[in-house]
């Protein structure tokens, strides 16, 4: 039985912990984007509780994990503090409930939940499941070099409370981010839409004019794309557009701005890129797209593309819409000069 002083110390310790948890919760409640939400959560837990290792494990392959990882691209912290595990690995270790799990023995058995690149000395660990719309999508993890920090006899109620508050915040941010994606992203390809591209192009155009920098714009469309829709149906056409969008995302640089302009037309805004460099880049994309097999209804399609480029330093256009229009005209000239190709093999 605890003495009166021990009970008093326990109450004071719980009050301090509760106050710190509230401070973390206050920090994350007003955030409306994934990157800041996760960075703030991990940083604040580490700072408030002096915990050396704090990270998130997400269930691999879900729409939520893909959306989150895409949002984490510009973060320096998160790629090292977000780990992926299969659903079978996750449920095999933590089950399907939402009660936090605390361990201080056989830590190696939980290695699937620990970032593989880490070289952490862990003697105790807590894993608090996080949910989105009632589905467990991962867990919030904390670990320490002390075996007593997260021993199984500790009361996990505050850990569960924090995970619940984080799950509620995650639900709010997800709803906000989906609305943002609908406003600025093409729903089929998930690339930027025309509205978002024009806003970005205007900013890059102003920057290039102000600082006398290079800027090129490329218009790209799919050769004989109507024939794909006519022969295989619009579902097949949508698949081609999605495959082309993914390929373009791989071939372009992080600084480039890629959008689906309309139908089978795509636009690439290429900052700090001369006409010659843009031409070389688009030619490489054209060659790689022609060589890329796209399976459709038991056939293999090689979708050729055409492009046109306009460069600010060459065109000397007064406005960004005029630069975009020059690139569109260049595309038209190239398509009328060259015979469009769309190859299909059994």
* Domain 194-345 class, CATH top level: alpha beta
pLDDT at residue 345 in the model: 38
4-184 belongs to CATH 3.40.50.2300: no
Angstrom CA distances, 250 to 55, 245, 270, stand at 28, 9, 15
pLDDT at residue 181 in the model: 67
pLDDT at residue 7 in the model: 56
Q: In the structure, how many helices (H) and strands (E) does the chain have?
A: 12, 12
pLDDT at residue 8 in the model: 61
pLDDT digits (tens, 9 = 90+) for 241-294: 999 999 999 888 878 999 999 999 999 999 999 999 999 999 999 999 999 999
CB 38 within 8 A of CB 78: yes
Q: Is the pTM of this model over 0.75?
A: no
- Which residues touch 311 (CB under 8 Å, ≥6 apart)? 214, 215, 216, 217, 273, 274, 275, 278
Tokens of 90: 């996750």
pLDDT at residue 67 in the model: 73
Residues of the chain with pLDDT under 50: 340-346
For 34, phi then psi, to 5°, come to -60, -50
Domain boundaries, the chain: 4-184, 194-345
pLDDT at residue 340 in the model: 45
pLDDT at residue 5 in the model: 61
pLDDT at residue 12 in the model: 67
Nearest to 132 by CA among 77, 65, 54: 65
């Amino acid at each position: 039985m605890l003495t009166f002083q021990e009970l008093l110390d326990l109450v004071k310790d719980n009050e301090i912990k509760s106050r710190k948890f509230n401070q973390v919760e206050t920090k994350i409640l007003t955030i409306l984007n994934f990157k800041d939400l996760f960075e703030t959560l991990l940083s604040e837990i580490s700072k408030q509780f002096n915990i050396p290792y704090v990270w998130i494990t997400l269930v691999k392959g879900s729409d939520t994990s893909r959306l989150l990882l895409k949002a984490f691209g510009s973060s320096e912290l998160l790629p090292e503090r977000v780990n992926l595990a299969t659903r079978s690995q996750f449920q095999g270790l933590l089950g399907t409930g939402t009660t936090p799990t605390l361990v201080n023995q056989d830590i190696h058995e939980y290695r699937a939940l620990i970032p593989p690149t880490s070289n952490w000395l862990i003697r105790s660990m807590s894993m608090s499941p996080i949910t989105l719309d009632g589905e467990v999508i991962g867990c919030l993890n904390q670990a320490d070099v002390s075996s007593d920090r997260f021993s199984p006899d500790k009361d996990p109620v505050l850990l569960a409370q924090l995970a619940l508050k984080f799950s509620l915040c995650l639900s709010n941010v997800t709803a906000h981010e989906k609305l943002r994606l609908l406003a600025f992203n093409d729903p089929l390809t998930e690339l930027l839409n025309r509205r978002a591209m024009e806003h970005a192009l205007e900013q890059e155009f102003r920057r290039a004019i102000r600082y006398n920098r290079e800027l090129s714009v490329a218009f790209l469309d799919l050769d004989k794309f109507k024939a794909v829709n006519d022969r295989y149906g619009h579902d097949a056409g949508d698949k081609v557009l999605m495959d082309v969008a993914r390929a373009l995302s791989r071939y372009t640089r992080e600084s480039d701005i890629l959008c689906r302009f309309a139908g089978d037309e795509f636009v690439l805004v290429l900052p700090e890129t001369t006409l010659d460099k843009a031409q070389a880049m688009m030619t490489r994309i054209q060659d790689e797209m022609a060589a890329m097999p796209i399976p459709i209804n038991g056939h293999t399609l090689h979708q050729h593309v055409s492009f046109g480029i306009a460069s600010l330093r060459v065109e000397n256009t007064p406005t960004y819409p005029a630069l975009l229009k020059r690139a569109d005209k260049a595309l038209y000239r190239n398509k009328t000069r060259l015979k469009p190709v769309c190859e299909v093999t059994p």
